Amino acid sequence: MFESLQDRLGSILNGLTGRGALSEADVSAALREVRRALLEADVALEVVRGFTDRVREKAVGAEVLKSIKPGQMVVKIVHDELIATLGAEGEVIDLNAPAPVVIMMVGLQGSGKTTTTAKIAKRLTERERKKVLMASLDTRRPAAQEQLRQLGSQTGVETLPIIAGQSPTDISARAVQAAKLGGYDVVILDTAGRTHIDEPLMAEMAEIKRRSNPHEILLVADSLTGQDAVNLARSFDERIGITGLVLTRMDGDGRGGAALSMRAVTGKPIKLIGVGEKMGELEEFHPRRIADRILG
Ligand code: GDP
Could you tell me if 184 and 133 are in contact, meaning their C-beta atoms sit under 8 angstroms apart?
yes
- Are 240 and 213 within 8 A, CB to CB? no
Distance of CA 201 to the CA centre of its chain: 20
Q: What is the pLDDT of residues 119-145, one digit of tens each?
A: 999 999 999 999 999 999 999 887 999
Can you tell me the ipTM of this complex? 0.99
Taking 70 as the pLDDT cut, the residues of the chain under it are 1-2, 15-19
Cα 6 to ligand 1 centroid, rounded to whole Å: 34
Instruction: Give the nearest ligand 1 atom to 117 CA.
Output: 7
Ligand 1 nearest atom to the CA of residue 147, by list position: 8
CA of 277 to the centre of ligand 1 (A): 6
Give the separation between CA 185 and CA 174, rounded to whole angstroms: 15
Residue nearest (by alpha carbon) to ligand 1 atom 2 = 110
pLDDT value for 294: 87
288 Cα to the center of ligand 1, angstroms = 25
Q: Is 193 annotated as a binding residue?
A: yes
Which pLDDT score is estimated for 15? Answer: 65
Is 241 one of the annotated binding-site residues? Answer: no
Q: Whole-model pTM above 0.90? A: yes
| 60-88: pLDDT as tens digits | 888 877 777 778 888 889 999 999 999 98
Which residues line the pocket of ligand 1, CB cutoff 6 A?
A: 107, 109-115, 193, 248-249, 251, 274-277
Q: What is the pLDDT of residue 1?
A: 47
Decide if 219 contacts 106 (C-beta within 8 A): yes
